[in-house]
Amino acid sequence: MTESRVALITGSSSGIGAAVARRLADEGMRIVVNSARSEAAGKELASSLPDAVYVKGDVADPADAQRIVQATIDAYGRLDVLVNNAGTTRFIPLNDLEGADISAWREIFDVNVFGAWQLTAAAVPHLRASGSASVINISSVSATRALGSSIPYAVSKAALNHMTRLLASQLGPDIRVNAVAPGLVDTAWYAEADEVWESSRDWITANTPLKRVGTPEDVSEAVHFLIRATYTTGDVITVDGGRHIV
């Protein structure tokens, strides 16, 4: 009997990460759910899936990054898919240069860039052994457009896009590396920023060809596609309802 493939999804106790975990579980994958803080939610999600474990750990911490990957191997003996979804931001108006102080840059880059790098580096030996491995980074449309929750956030996602391409050039043919760049997605991040969310929701709905904001499930479908797209690497797929074309 062939063993089911194993997917590690960072930052997956809620939102996009949780939707990705459910989507890949629907495909028969064994899932490792991860979060840095939301332990109860992570354990609840893992228990709701057919074959999943929860591993608490902060991707920004080098020791935790190694431990998260090792816990995956300890649980399942293999790793086939890594989804670098863990991310953070601060809501800072783009014209507020003083608000975007160095602590904001460090906090955001520690998770969004260095965290993704550390998880990937730790996972590579195990991914190579898979025979058909995939790394998928969750980026943002703010990586290529002058918008976003803050300048440090947008720049971190631009760095993640370029990291995606560089890793794809070096890790093939054993490991494919791609990214998904969502537009505005209905998650807890925006629920906690009511004014930002409501104004953004109205504007996106009015000015996007598909006339709605995105959902975590929209992003999970793109992740699922990239896992199956075996001749695609180094690509960044935009999931924004067509906003980038108008």
**Helix residue ranges, H only, the chain:** 15-26, 39-48, 62-76, 102-109, 116-128, 151-171, 188-191, 194-207, 216-228
Catalytic residue among 76, 153, 190, 231: 153
The distance of Cα 157 from the centroid of its chain, to the nearest Å, equals: 11
Q: Do 180 and 223 form a contact (C-beta atoms < 8 A)? A: yes
Q: Residue 196 and residue 179: Cα distance in Å, rounded? A: 26
Cα(71)–Cα(73) distance, integer angstroms: 5
Active site residue 190: no
Q: Tell me how far apart the alpha carbons of residues 53 and 165 are, in angstroms, rounded to a whole number.
A: 30
Q: What angle do CA 98, 101, 107 make, to 5 degrees?
A: 150
N residues, the chain = 246
What is the DSSP annotation of 151-179? HHHHHHHHHHHHHHHHHHHHHTTTEEEEE
- Structural tokens at position 133: 């491995």
As given in the structure block, the two tokens for residue 86 are 């863990």
Residues catalogued as catalytic: 153
